[in-house]
Amino acid sequence: MGRKILLDKINVPGIKTYEVYRREGGYASVEKALKKMTPDEVVEEVKTSGLRGRGGAGFPAGMKWSFIDKKSGNPRHLVCNADESEPGTFKDRYLMEYIPHLLIEGMITSSYALGANLSYIYIRGEYMWVYKILERAIAEAKAAGWLGKNILGSGYDLELFVQIGGGAYICGEETALIESLEGNRGNPRLKPPFPAVKGLWQNPTVVNNVETISAVPWIINNSGADYAGIGIGRSTGTKLISASGNIKNQGVYEIELGLSVYEFMNSDEYCGGMQTDRPLKALVPGGSSVPILPANLIYKTAAGEDRLMTYESLSDGGFATGSMLGSGGFIVYDDRACIVRNTWNFSRFYHHESCGQCTPCREGTGWLEKVLWRIENGQGREEDIELLWSIQSKIEGNTICPLGDAASWPVAAAIRHFRDEFEYHIRFPEKVKNRDHFVHEPFEKVKHLIAKQEV
Amino acid sequence: MKVTIDGQEIEVAPGTTILQAARMIGGESVPPAMCYYSKLKGTGGKCRCCLVDVTKGSEADPRPMPKLVASCVTGCQDGMEVASKKSDRVAEARKAVTEFLLINHPLDCPVCDQAGECDLQNLSFEHGKLQQRFIEEKRTFEPEDIGDKIQLHMNRCIVCQRCVEVADQLTDKRVHGVLNRGDHSQISTCVSAAIDNEFSGNMIDVCPVGALTDKTFRFKSRVWFNKPFNAHRECTTPGCCGKTTLWMFGNEIQRVTARKDEYHEVEDFICNTCRFDKKDVADWVIEGPRKFEKDSVINQNKHFGKTEKVVIETEKGILQGRDIDRKKISMAEIDYNEKIDGNPVNGKQNG
Ligand SMILES: Cc1cc2nc3c(=O)[nH]c(=O)nc-3n(C[C@H](O)[C@H](O)[C@H](O)COP(=O)(O)O)c2cc1C
Ligand code: SF4
Ligand code: SF4
Ligand code: FES
């Protein structure tokens, strides 16, 4: 049994309510921080913990906090990124829905560390019911004296607001989120300046993911060193993984980082193995934007070692042989899945969500989608594979924000690892016109056709 | 601070961007810019045409920058070394951006009112590819009336957002902006036919392509048939400099625009009265003809240098071997009395 930090109390009846949460030891981190620690000590503790941002990029949270410009004298803000729009990722919602006070407690402790008196939770508009749960929890916390003026008589003031987004994936990108929070169109800003210097209303701002902030209470209660003791190397602590696809038990799991992918996939505590007896074909380990892994690279790294659920092991050897832990959206495919169709589907999403500010992403994502759609519908041309490769490589690295990269990686990885499947679509258009082609005839069975054609 | 661009060193003040430094040097190293506009604050960073390769970060931190950077929004550092024209990566990226800009842009230059002064035309001339790889259907928009002075042709827009900045910075009530996302992004007004602010006409001048055009000039003339003159008048509109370029056909003022520099950016913005309402020669003090770069299309038909004969290699496949017809492309070579199917060429059947 892995150690639970975030979901430890999730099954306590009534944990959603303030009374039960408090009775179970909730808000202790606020008491400890405000009464016994200076803000800098809280930052140090988070630094020691090695906690890395759980929103996707994995940047060390304590380090990000220490970048915040305290000298400018301007007000500072903490913004919680609860936009959670990465396809395949549904972990933040679980935390907020079932144990909302954990996030609020984390927000108070973290805001204190940053010296922020005005903090926000930016939640995606589609999570309306979660928004209501949070509003209620904030009201409860305020009534109990954990928010407002002079909290616990410490002289520290904090107001916390929840803001609903308009429902755009791009509003999860931190600078677009800030724009949206200010009431503007959710377009990413150019960096630098980074939010830690000029963020919300040009004030120093830290944007952190729900899961990142929710880990802070445990770190303060127990110590950064204890947290760093969980996990492996620079991947410390626990991580929520939202598992979906062709596995027995879909759901949200808390794992200790360093668990092997094999165990996560197959043990009954987690995914419970494949849903049916069909073979495992591919895995997207960290949400739709990260590269897909083919079967032979799922359990073993390129060096032949066991692949672990860590930032390092999943990205082993770069994108040619690795992927990313990303936001922890673990999507499993069995042999019925059509990789071309899946890639088209992801592309469709990025095309739809591109903010349209910069040329490569605005025009390139649409182009990718159209070409993929043609191939999937039996209208592909031989040169289309090279074309796709070329388009994605021209988007990557040339855009304002990482959405351009997120749109190009899945395409690159699909071509890299499943090129023959693209060729099959192009050479046998009549076979793929039926949407369910691989359901009736898994690719493994028809693969020989491509080889034959080449002779 | 010292910066080196393509091996050319220049001394610049702190806060200067790489693009500005390149413009100080001038010549081939100046990156193309479709969204940056020096006269509008905070523009740039969007079109990605001006990407350059920073091969040395600065004296203090000489590491090269891993990615290409947008030169219009990247500040110079002391000791920085930049490759613009001299980098294959940059050439590749500019080619890619040009290709991206063209995939959805209609290739209808012959009927577009911006022909001859279109930045996208210039960009593709210099950085474009010869082959078209985009075979899908181009996206199109419903035509929209945004007011009595300005024509919006959304299909041509490249979403550089310069016009939005004009609306933001020069007009008091902003009524237009970007709607939708991705390649569905669209310039529009919040209520149709809403643009009537005194400085709104400047949107036309900043638009790099033919998406926003002047309704009082539309289709009156090709720019190269006009003769541009510098002119001014005592303009009473606060904020208007009253200095313009008049585009004349004989004695007729066909169009009034602000004066533009070599990067096609206005020197100073003008009001709508000067632009749309003063079309009488008596309204203006004409200073004299305006000079353009030697090879500008605006100078076409106005020089007497020797021109080389242009040979058009028409592809055989398109004409399907109809070599006789092919000769007829050159009208001078057609015999006046030549017959087709027994009928004279200038006979009735042929109009
Ligand atoms: C296109 C795009 C979408 C993103 N969406 C989210 C999101 O939904 N939730 C999130 O926490 N981070 C998202 N991010 C990452 C954020 O920009 C940012 O890195 C993160 O919120 C920082 O929090 P962390 O340091 O706690 O990970 C997104 C990034 C990009 C480029
Ligand atoms: S990469 Fe895409 S989403 Fe990001 S700024 Fe550019 S157009 Fe917008
Ligand atoms: S209408 Fe013209 S100026 Fe406005 S965004 Fe489009 S291309 Fe740019
Ligand atoms: S001019 Fe620099 S990005 Fe457009």
The answer to whether residue A7 is domain-embedded is no
Task: Considering every ligand atom shown, identify the ligand nearest to the alpha carbon of residue A205 and give its number.
Answer: 1
Q: Are A403 and A414 part of one and the same domain? A: yes
**In this structure, what are the phi and psi dihedrals at residue B55, rounded to the nearest 5 degrees?**
-85, -20
Provide the number of structural domains found in chain A: 3
Asked if the Cβ–Cβ distance from B100 to A364 is below 8 Å, we say yes
**In this structure, what are the phi and psi dihedrals at residue A301, rounded to the nearest 5 degrees?**
-80, 175
A358-370 pLDDT, tens digit per residue, is 999 999 999 999 9
Distances (CA, A) of A264 to A7, A38, A86, A151, A261: 17, 39, 21, 42, 5
Residue ending a domain, among A272, A307, A334, is A334
- Closest by Cβ to A365, choosing from B45, B49, B182: B182
Ligand 4 centre and the CA of B69: distance in Å? Answer: 10
- Average the pLDDT over A314-318 and give the result: 93
The answer to whether residue A6 is domain-embedded is no
Q: 3-state DSSP helix/strand/coil percent for chain B, to nearest 5? A: 25, 20, 55
pLDDT for the residue numbered A422: 97
Band of the pLDDT at A324, cuts 50, 70, 90? very high
B38-65 pLDDT, tens digit per residue, is 999 999 999 999 999 999 999 999 999 9
Q: Are A262 and A307 part of one and the same domain? A: yes
Residue ending a domain, among A229, A254, A287, is A229
Confirm or reject: Cβ of A403 under 6 Å from ligand 2: yes
**Is residue A101 within 8 Å of A95, Cβ to Cβ?**
no
The answer to whether residue A5 is domain-embedded is no
pLDDT at B31 > cutoff 50: yes
Confirm or reject: Cβ of A403 under 6 Å from ligand 1: yes
Asked if the Cβ–Cβ distance from A362 to B180 is below 8 Å, we say no
How many Å separate Cα A103 from the centre of its chain? 17
Residue ending a domain, among A178, A209, A229, is A229
**Is residue A100 within 8 Å of A123, Cβ to Cβ?**
no
B229-288 pLDDT, tens digit per residue, is 999 999 999 999 999 999 999 889 999 999 999 899 999 999 999 999 999 999 999 999
Residue nearest to atom 7 of ligand 3 (CA): B157
Confirm or reject: Cβ of B212 under 6 Å from ligand 3: yes
Q: Tokens representing A190?
A: 């150019």
Q: What is the pTM of this model?
A: 0.91
Asked if the Cβ–Cβ distance from B45 to A354 is below 8 Å, we say no
Ligand 3 centre and the CA of A52: distance in Å? Answer: 41
Q: Are A220 and A239 part of one and the same domain? A: no
The answer to whether residue A455 is domain-embedded is no
pLDDT for the residue numbered A69: 86
Q: What is the ipTM of this complex?
A: 0.93
Q: Are A295 and A240 part of one and the same domain? A: yes
DSSP string, A52-82: B-TTTT--BHHHHHHTS--TT---EEEEEEE
Crossing angle, helix A39-49 and helix A100-114, to 10 degrees?
120
**Is residue A146 within 8 Å of A111, Cβ to Cβ?**
no
pLDDT for the residue numbered B349: 39
Q: Are A346 and A320 part of one and the same domain? A: no
pLDDT at A80 > cutoff 80: yes
Find the domain containing A249 and state its range. 232-334
Residue A192 Cα, gap to closest chain B Cα (Å)? 9
Band of the pLDDT at A113, cuts 50, 70, 90? very high
Q: Are A117 and A188 part of one and the same domain? A: yes
Domain with residue A373: its CATH number is 1.20.1440.230
pLDDT for the residue numbered B348: 43
- Average the pLDDT over A60-68 and give the result: 96
Q: Are A203 and A239 part of one and the same domain? A: no
Q: Are A204 and A245 part of one and the same domain? A: no
Q: Which residue has the higher pLDDT, B311 or B214?
A: B214
- To test the pocket of ligand 4, the residue of B20, B30, B46, B127 to mutate (highest count of ligand atoms within 8 Å of its CB) is B46
Domain with residue A253: its CATH number is 3.10.20.600
Q: Give the Cα separation of A298 and A334 in Å (integer).
A: 13
CATH of the domain spanning B2-89: 3.10.20.740
The answer to whether residue A8 is domain-embedded is no
pLDDT for the residue numbered B334: 47
Q: Give the Cα separation of A260 and B6 in Å (integer).
A: 50
Domain with residue A146: its CATH number is 3.40.50.11540
CB-facing half-sphere around the CA of B177: CA atoms within 13 A: 14
The average confidence (pLDDT) of chain A is 95
Q: Are A325 and A343 part of one and the same domain? A: no
Interface of B with A (CB under 8 A): 45-49, 51, 67-68, 70, 73, 93, 96-97, 99-101, 103-104, 133-134, 136, 139, 158-159, 161, 177-178, 180-185
Q: Are A212 and A82 part of one and the same domain? A: yes
Q: Are A273 and A329 part of one and the same domain? A: yes
pLDDT for the residue numbered B317: 55
Residue B101 Cα, gap to closest chain A Cα (Å)? 7
End-to-end Cα, chain A, rounded Å: 53
DSSP designation for B310: P
Tokens 């043609």: give the residue. A374
Q: Are A138 and A192 part of one and the same domain? A: yes
Q: List the single residue in A with minimal CA-CA distance to B92.
A: A394
A254-313 pLDDT, tens digit per residue, is 999 999 999 999 999 999 999 999 999 999 999 999 999 999 999 999 999 999 999 999
DSSP designation for A305: P
